[in-house]
Structure 1
């Protein structure tokens, strides 16, 4: 008894039900039948004189039960009264019997008046006369009638529509819209069915008809306490359907309110009336398994419902269980014109919560003066002051409620700027907060304070907001008719308790609409910074496929930036934000000192984020070019490219996309090679000797030694790359005869490693090495200078030829790895001139030059590592070869020619002496004879002539 208690309103009837009321059978073979029954009581909770009026039973007098008392599939487990309500037409009673028709369930409507004199026939789903379960379009075990409510504006204004929940219908739950069947006077027909989302969510466990948006059409709140999500954070839901003028309920997209995990949120849903007196009805939702139980209040609004909880009521301080299991509202127990709320539990307690009066305070704020022209007002030289005047009044319900309210007010200036941790543009000269007493409803009370504008402010585009907020301290006691203690009022939750006004900047360089629409544009390029005659010159970096290439050997690179504002309004607080990768850092800034725009860049601590101020404002048609110097000291071998983000910002109206400045990073090794031959001039002669007749190196020909010196002007190669010296060795002439015979290769300053191919070194195995190298080297050198070339100017026209690998020579590539090259290394090649070849093929020439090429290359290096190509990245070594013709030299020149030459020389010397005597020119005390550098005759490996040039 009491599973359901509902009131028709003050001074009217009360209904209570006992849905587990049973009819006991004395026959052990006959089950007890659970009919249920309800009682109608007067306002004093006494029964009426008419028995049929106060006791309503709809299931135990059916002929089907009398005819088949052992069959409970019809109405034996009817459980009338599990839900019951007074219909909103105030003339009918509504009952739910979820156990009828094998738990399909029924809804019954009867007249509230005496059934014998009423003109309204009882109606129910399935028809009272026909008792046809097929007229109910739900499956068995749906539990129709589990919850029930009604409205007069659900599908048509002025027409009663009954809504009933069937929480087990369709595996998730459904809600049926019922109306009087126009074709059958004792039947309720199904008009609409709302299908619940989510499997086994018990959609329709409880329902509430409520006008949330005060549009005159009834809305619907449906509880689904067993709704859940896979994430496990939701335990129950309430679906809010906002009426679309009675049309297409099944197409309405509901608003879902979620409860906490395992809370059974939505087990109870109640229309609690307009508890905050804002003109919109509100709802309460019970979550009895949320801890010891909680009740959530949600307020209606013009948009339907505020999805944020307005208030949460808990009972953790009481020793109870399942608080919020049942709810009832819309009853004012203390006569303060605010509906109150009663909350039931599964303990022995009911809690009544009285609604407190809600106060709405109106704030009016005025600033004098309200505008300022920074071009004419020099606030850095004198004070620019303003007066803020705020006035307050309040209203509440009912109009007769008229307490004296004490409020706390607070002025605030430029709040958004301070939220961004920037200095406020306004400063208070007077008090910014205080206390006022409002004498009554509609009676205004005012206060004012003084402020000043700071002189050096950056934001001159946006107005400066000044606001005043108010909070309620207390209210004076007023006389009340209720014996209950008086409640203090509260401020309206959704009424903004803040008023805002603004100080507006004028003459901001904007258009006629006073809106600054700038047109900032950005161009950029990467440059290097060589110095030309002591001046910085910015030269674009070389590029590959349009992408600039940065050499890691450069200490600095330059980012050239050009910003324009062509035909745009002034760009206030214009900035360029430069975001650098970790491999680059800001170093310095360079721009033309005569530029009208002064650029200032402020990097962060590690130099990867730089804020460059371009001007405040950056004027219409202004243009500036500046250079950001970037350090490359953090570039590592793993750096293959750099991406620099450039973002223009302004407080004027303009959407500016960020730009990406991309460049490729290449490590260019600074290697140089120099070469020479010792001696650089050699001769050939003697008799032709076959290869088989040669027993030692001396039999081959004159000794020649090549020396290649390599300098590394950058990082040691051992850390990240290997280089090799590539020598194009002139092995044979065009017809395949030996030319230079390679005897030995050795090196200094690098790790010991063999040059390749090895077969090219001493390829003829039976020839033995020479033991007396140094003596033969000197003899060969002296012989080279005893040739006829010393007197070739007296002989016939000279014949010569230059031999290179590109024309008449067959060359092989000798690759010598430079492993562990630090700063310098030397590679020596010892070879022999193949005397026989020169005698056979080149004896007719006065001399010939053999040109040997050598280059440097990298091996086993990353893609971003390469050699810096300069004129010293390779070398050519020239070897001059003369034939020996000693005997023929003197035979070709007659003795008288020699005598005549000597006499002419003496005559010229005498003439020169006479001229010097005539001119009285001082004669040097001593003439030094300049000898030919002996290093050509005696090679020294420490020869400084191989050093790198600046």
Structure 2
């Protein structure tokens, strides 16, 4: 055997999901730290196809196709090969080429001369490879032959080889190698372009080139292929072989058989064929279900976008665990036309859930997120990857990611189909100089290669000649309970005794927090250690005084460990918590929220070969419960206040330039149930300053009022009581001084009462507007000469045309001095 591979281990990074996902995703249970990597010959397309080979409990290996590999076959260039790579890694032995065919091109004597009948150079052997128990089939879809008739044409009929009994016996199966050559027949068939196994071990083979590329699908029995096989038999009729027939010319260029899968859709215990026809239906593409008994078409799924290559790949899986097979279809050239002027080729996968025989729901669609990533080029049925009862799916996007290295998206199943967001993204880490690495072009799952009861995944990267085996980590499901007793705390009920000094003890209100956990999961270690954290008053604002403390720790936060597993299926711990004295906190209405977080302590899992378990990401790892402080609010412990407010000013207007002291008489009332943390808020305008409360009027209450500033707002806050009990009626006076009045017509004070109650927590708003006015006083002093004039003026004659002032009348002079202005300038109200 030729040793061409050297397996190794490589840590692959996990991509934290795109802008798209709010909460950020993390790696679920496919391990990215202990990945087994196989390397093949450069430029051989090693990893173009992959599969598991687990014929018995002792043998586990990976089958890897390399369709451009060179072999030792005489006179054949890039004939292609299939390698068997042992798992776990087999030291220096590495991967071995399986000797499906070691011969050169067969020849025959035609017209007296020997001529070649077949052409294996660049036949792409290994482009498809599939296994079923001890059976392995690998195909060369570009295998050419020249029919026995006199012709120089080479027909790409394709061929497959079958191996059984641990590669001890081989036979060839070439369903299109016959006398029906040339494009109008099966000459361009390319049998083996796609391949799958029935559950009974028969094979389904696609040949998309038959009948002017209408395409064709075949089914055959492995035993019949092996029985009576002879290397010399170029053309043989196979007993039991079934195949679809030629259709009308309208089906030309449809490519039926581009992809194939098998599943049960008629409730008769016999599986049907599913075939992709990516260029059918006027290039919209469709997928057809074919009756395996008579090879007739019984159901079609049609694509919804022209040239998306709907049917490029197909897969069958019971995703929602209802006992009925479902169909997945890839359309890797699908264009996202959100913006019609700039469509983006992102790829799409369709999931059709089967409700009853041949009755399907409308498709659930998963769109790719990266342009030209070819999302949906490969679809792998993973089986139940996380052991939650639903099958999961891997979808390849081989040209996505950084430098187009490729990505694989893992979608978990549920009762309604597939989760809309991937639980994990595997990131290609290899680059290729000549072509994209193609990580994710080939996928294979639904087999447990490391025998830990969880199915694993093989990913091929043919451009980099790499294949990675991802093993599934055991999934630990934690069922946790957080119990509080009692859930309503009466501050008057002081039953817990604590020490406040060496000689002094006191009774306080207390309650119990009980944490119980149990774990389930396949192949989990004997005992699981959980890192747990308890936090009291979790919803209190940062820096606020917590109302509760652990008795023994003097803190509202506690970290501890829980050991749960097969020795102890359920583990419980109790913690006693006490309530602070009421004088230490104000908030009595907000529930006391107890928060429990837990995580898996991975440090206890050692060993290079063992995979560390992981918590079930679909099980919430945080629990919350609430306790309430008993308040005087009736049987329902819910206070609904009815807060009222009125206010008046001792002045209706202010005069510019005066000292302008002003007092508000404010009345606050509660006509409902208790209002907790009740406060009067007075918003202060920019022209006023707070002086203090009125202390000289007996009918006004002297409350605790403080000046506060929040952002750019100034206010006075007065404490009205905690609680402000039902029937409270308070009157108080607040004094302000008003300045800086030059540029306003009025100033406004806004007042209201608020409480911390959930319902009806605020009073009516009151706005007091004070007008601004201006006053001016003028005093004028002076004399007149003469001081008086007696009219009529004696001896005065009026002239018709006076020539100077004296001819009009005597002169009177007014003399002013020491003019005083007493003016208050400003805008009058």
Match of 2:610 in 1: 486
The structure whose Rg is larger is: 1
Q: Once structures 1 and 2 are overlaid, which stretch shifts more, 555-564 or 218-227? A: 555-564
1:397 equivalent to 2:514? Answer no
Q: Which among 378, 387, 391 is matched to residue 277 of structure 1?
A: 387
1:406 equivalent to 2:519? Answer no
Distance between the aligned counterparts of 1:579 and 1:258, measured in 2? Answer: 54
Q: Tell me which of the two structures has the higher relative contact order, counting C-alpha pairs closer than 8 angstroms and 6 or more residues apart.
A: 2
Q: Which among 240, 265, 269 is matched to residue 375 of structure 2?
A: 265
Match of 1:940 in 2: 816
Match of 1:874 in 2: none
Alignment deviations for residues 645-679 of structure 1 (CA, whole Å, 9 cap, x no partner): 989674424598x9999999999776677889986
- CA 580–272 in structure 1, closer or farther in 2 if over 3 Å, else same: farther
Is contact 1:273–1:339 with CA below 8 Å preserved after alignment? yes
Larger helix proportion of the pair = 1
Distance between the aligned counterparts of 1:459 and 1:421, measured in 2? Answer: 14
1:345 equivalent to 2:461? Answer yes
Q: Which among 264, 287, 299 is matched to residue 152 of structure 1?
A: 264
- Describe how 1:722-737 pairs up with structure 2 within 5 A: none
Distance between the aligned counterparts of 1:159 and 1:682, measured in 2? Answer: 139
1:3 equivalent to 2:127? Answer yes
- CA 91–474 in structure 1, closer or farther in 2 if over 3 Å, else same: closer
SS of aligned partner of 1:504? strand
How many aligned positions are there?
661
Distance between the aligned counterparts of 1:579 and 1:97, measured in 2? Answer: 82
Task: Report how far residue 341 of structure 1 moved.
Answer: 0.9
TM-score normalised per structure 1 = 0.57
TM-score normalised per structure 2 = 0.64
Match of 1:191 in 2: 300
- Describe how 1:301-340 pairs up with structure 2 within 5 A: 301-316=414-429, 321-340=437-456
- Describe how 1:126-205 pairs up with structure 2 within 5 A: 128=245, 131-134=247-250, 143-152=255-264, 160=271, 162-167=273-278, 174-180=285-291, 185-196=294-305, 201-205=308-312
Distance between the aligned counterparts of 1:234 and 1:580, measured in 2? Answer: 57
- Describe how 1:622-641 pairs up with structure 2 within 5 A: none
- CA 454–655 in structure 1, closer or farther in 2 if over 3 Å, else same: closer
SS of aligned partner of 2:513? strand
Task: Report how far residue 777 of structure 1 moved.
Answer: 1.9
Please provide the CA RMSD for this pair: 5.3
Task: Report how far residue 330 of structure 1 moved.
Answer: 0.6
Alignment deviations for residues 127-165 of structure 1 (CA, whole Å, 9 cap, x no partner): x1x53254x6xxx65544333334325x87967565444
Distance between the aligned counterparts of 2:773 and 2:188, measured in 1? Answer: 93
1:363 equivalent to 2:480? Answer yes
- CA 117–144 in structure 1, closer or farther in 2 if over 3 Å, else same: closer
Distance between the aligned counterparts of 2:729 and 2:663, measured in 1? Answer: 19
Task: Report how far residue 55 of structure 1 moved.
Answer: 0.9
SS of aligned partner of 1:337? coil
1:452 equivalent to 2:565? Answer no
Task: Report how far residue 509 of structure 1 moved.
Answer: 3.6
Is contact 1:645–1:661 with CA below 8 Å preserved after alignment? yes
SS of aligned partner of 2:355? coil
Distance between the aligned counterparts of 1:552 and 1:83, measured in 2? Answer: 97
- CA 38–29 in structure 1, closer or farther in 2 if over 3 Å, else same: closer
Distance between the aligned counterparts of 2:191 and 2:819, measured in 1? Answer: 119
1:55 equivalent to 2:173? Answer yes
Q: Which among 167, 190, 195 is matched to residue 84 of structure 1?
A: 195
Unaligned runs of 5+ in 2: 1-124, 226-235, 501-505
- CA 24–339 in structure 1, closer or farther in 2 if over 3 Å, else same: same
Task: Report how far residue 313 of structure 1 moved.
Answer: 2.6
Distance between the aligned counterparts of 2:674 and 2:261, measured in 1? Answer: 64
Match of 1:694 in 2: 802
Distance between the aligned counterparts of 2:689 and 2:152, measured in 1? Answer: 95
Alignment deviations for residues 860-892 of structure 1 (CA, whole Å, 9 cap, x no partner): xxxxxxxxxxxxxxxxxxxxxxxxxxxxxxxxx
Task: Report how far residue 345 of structure 1 moved.
Answer: 0.8
Distance between the aligned counterparts of 1:559 and 1:83, measured in 2? Answer: 89
Match of 2:560 in 1: 434
Task: Report how far residue 390 of structure 1 moved.
Answer: 3.1
Match of 1:606 in 2: 712
Task: Report how far residue 343 of structure 1 moved.
Answer: 0.9
Distance between the aligned counterparts of 2:806 and 2:268, measured in 1? Answer: 127
Is contact 1:181–1:188 with CA below 8 Å preserved after alignment? no
Unaligned runs of 5+ in 1: 530-536, 543-549, 703-775, 779-937
Task: Report how far residue 605 of structure 1 moved.
Answer: 5.3
- CA 439–190 in structure 1, closer or farther in 2 if over 3 Å, else same: closer
Task: Report how far residue 358 of structure 1 moved.
Answer: 1.7
Distance between the aligned counterparts of 1:663 and 1:103, measured in 2? Answer: 87
1:208 equivalent to 2:325? Answer no
Task: Report how far residue 276 of structure 1 moved.
Answer: 1.3
Is contact 1:469–1:497 with CA below 8 Å preserved after alignment? yes
Distance between the aligned counterparts of 1:691 and 1:33, measured in 2? Answer: 142
